[in-house]
Chain A
Amino acid sequence: MHPIDWIIIGVYLTWVIYDGLKRSKDTDGVEGYFLAGRSLPWWAVGLSVMATQMSAITLVGTTGQGYADGMRFVQFYFGLPVAMIILSVTLVPFFYRAKVFTAYEYLERRFDTKTRALAGLLFLVSRGLAVGVIISAPAVVLSIVLGWNLAFTALAIGVPTTLYTMFGGVQAVTWADVKQMVVIVGGMAAAVCVLILGLPDGVGLGEALHVAGATGRLTTIDFSLDFTETYTFWSGLLGGVFLMLGYFGCDQSQVQRYLTAQSVDAGRRSLLMSAFWKIPLQAMILLTGVLVFVFYLFHEPPMLFNAAHEGEIRAGARAAEFTQLETQFHTAFEDRREAADQMIAARRVGDAVAIADTRDRFVDSQAQVADIRAGAVDLVREVSGDTAFTDVNYVFPTFITTRLPVGLVGLLIAAVLAAAMSSIAAELNALSATSVMDFYRRHLRPEATDRHYLFVSKVTTAFWGVFATGFALYAANLGSLIEVVNRVGSYFYGSLLGVFVLAIAVPRATANGAFWGLLAGMTVVGLVEVTSEISFIWYNVVGAVAVVAVALVLSVLRPSPAKA
């Protein structure tokens, strides 16, 4: 990497740490540390909500998805605007008026200590591990693409984030998120400009998109009702509503964002910002991935973007096989480029028969390229034993480091780091809030001074930062474990959503009903996963419905003494 790019990354890291440390002056109590004294403007909170949701792996994974699979992933977010409206008239005013520090705090008021403790524990375990993955996933990608040491990369992400979150609290997290969203959106816009300018002379953007459309990559809506498919209109709209309600309504890392807002209305506005912008933003990121695909139609890409095992294969017994695949890939690429040129020429003439013929030829040649890539992936998996090997997440970072001009490389790497750090910081802050408010203050030291809780909160943030960074170094070598950790959220969100539905909408629900319902909901989701093929997006519906059903039955069979 060029020294100028290093300087840009260094300036970015110094900036976020310096600003975070500066914010510690505004944090003189535990309410200031976790909730910024409920004083932040809606637009800053709204940007923080969006930044928290967008991790680095979302950024590079989504562009990779756009490259490999197209834009249908955008359907995943179709339920988000509806969920935000529901939250604006239910949980947002509810949490805000209850003056709670954490979402789980209310569960004790409504039910009992054990329900609060179980919900808090689920959050700590699932998000504590997940934040390690949020660090390790981009660290692995960046270390391979940039040739950096893996431990150095994980530390470069984890240490600065822990420092500014620890000292600056939620003020630092939120204002860093605002800057990070600017860096992310600015970096992506710059990448889109380079991609458009990188089209061959005479090839317009519309013509290039028609070529991409021939492969189905611009298909954004699929109306089929298939419960095994994650990315359909109905999965996104119906399953997505429950997923987003669970994530934004019951996950402390998001609840804490809007609890920092100046008023109930400010909290609502901060969520509705996502309702307006999330789908267009995701569509833009996916379209960036499609544009990378278009770019590589005219500029030869590497056969595999993930070069992690390349040295091992070239030095091994099947090196000749790999080289042969590369030769075939080069020929297939040239054939595909020629087919793309012919398709564009046919569209210019407007000859319908020629358009159809050239389109068929292009689709065939694209299939051939895809087959060779799939063969290469299989070869890597067989030789290396890495059965989880994939290269989708490496597409965009490879494009950044090999095709962008000096300066923009640094900006885009900073954008990836910003995406990682914004999510990690919010998680660390929320993990600390739950640890201190739901466990330490509740069970260990209920009567200590505010100054004491502030100190413990900072120590707890540091603990979670060290734990997450340490786990990231460990998780980097455990592909299957990462998948397991990511799936934990699917068990957790829907079931927890069910408990909050009981809390605010079912007056006759008892504490025991809620507690055992929560455990039953997660068990049912686990059984559904093992025994059926339905997509994980529906787990949240299953979990929420199971919790409410089981809790209602238990509440009817054994009503609380007051209601008996």
Chain B
Amino acid sequence: MSQATPPHIVGVSESPRVFDTRGDEAFGFVYVAVVATEVLVLMGLWCFSRYFSG
């Protein structure tokens, strides 16, 4: 069913690695910081809600 790949598209059918963390910098700390920030923001929203709604 596949049609011919046109000349301007390079590469072949392949499955890339699912998780690709390669890059110039390590982002592990940033991902942890994102999760930590979200937890803090949600806790802040919950406390804000409890304080003013109570």
- B-binding residues in A (CB < 8 A): 71, 74, 78, 81-82, 84-85, 88-90, 93-94, 97-99, 105, 108-114, 206, 209-210, 212-214, 216, 218-221, 263-265, 268-269, 272, 275-276, 279-280, 283, 441-442, 446-447, 503-507, 511-512
Contact = CB atoms under 8 A, between A and B. Distances in A.
Contacts of B23: 93, 263-265, 268
Contacts of B1: 112, 114, 511-512
A507 B23 CA distance: 24
Contacts of B21: 89, 93
A442 B7 CA distance: 9
Lowest 7 CB-CB distances: which A-B pairs, in order?
A213-B52, A112-B2, A93-B20, A213-B53, A220-B45, A113-B3, A220-B49
A214 B54 CA distance: 8
- What does DSSP make chain A's interface, helix, strand, loop or mixed? helix
Interface of B: 1-3, 5-16, 18-25, 27, 30-31, 34-35, 37-38, 41-42, 45-46, 48-49, 52-54
Contact of A94 (B3, B20, B49): B20
A108 B5 contact: yes
- What does DSSP make chain B's interface, helix, strand, loop or mixed? loop
Given A81-B35, A109-B13, A283 B45 contact: yes
Kindly name the residue among B3, B8, B14, B49 whose own CB sees the greatest number of chain A CB atoms within 10 A.
Answer: B49
Nearest to B45: A220
B27 A81 contact: no
A218 B5 contact: no
B52 A212 contact: yes
A268 B25 CA distance: 11
Given A88-B27, A272-B30, A504-B16, A109 B5 contact: yes
Contacts of A275: 34, 37-38
A403 B46 CA distance: 31
Contacts of A105: 9
A57 B53 CA distance: 28
Given A209-B52, A264-B23, A507-B15, A441 B8 contact: yes
Given A213-B49, A220-B49, A503-B15, 6 more contacts: A74-B45, A110-B15, A112-B2, A218-B48, A218-B53, A276-B37
Given A90-B19, A98-B11, A272-B30, A219 B24 contact: no
Nearest to A505: B18
Kindly name the residue among A94, A212, A220, A506 whose own CB sees the greatest number of chain B CB atoms within 10 A.
Answer: A220
A210 B52 contact: yes
B44 to A, nearest CB: 9
A440 to B, nearest CB: 12
B52 A218 contact: yes
Contacts of A269: 30
A280 B40 CA distance: 11
B16 to A, nearest CB: 5
Contacts of A213: 49, 52-54
Contact of B10 (A93, A99, A272): A99
Contact of A272 (B7, B34, B41): B34
6 contacts: A213-B53, A220-B49, A279-B41, A504-B15, A505-B15, A505-B18
A89 B49 contact: no
A118 to B, nearest CB: 13
